[in-house]
Amino acid sequence: MELERYLKNNLIRITFTDGEMLIGRPSDFMQECDDEDGANLVVIPTEGKLKGKYVCCFEHEVVNVEVIE
């Protein structure tokens, strides 16, 4: 999955391999060569217990990304 293409969207919903979902605003993207854990999209959740925090969403843990706005 090419997470970097979602960086310019305002609001996205990410579904993870464990079935969890996260809705938030993309903040940054790290390429695989820049992070030993793999490529990841940093998202700031807009709801839930992680609201307002920075969350790394690793490419290998993401099954689907939906653009909300």
H, E, C per residue of 13-44 = EEEECCCCEEEEEEEEEECHHHCCCCCEEEEE
**What pLDDT does 63 receive?**
97
CATH topology of domain 3-67: SH3 type barrels. (2.30.30)
Rounded to two decimals, the pTM is: 0.88
pLDDT tens digits, one per residue of 43-68: 999 999 999 999 999 999 999 999 99
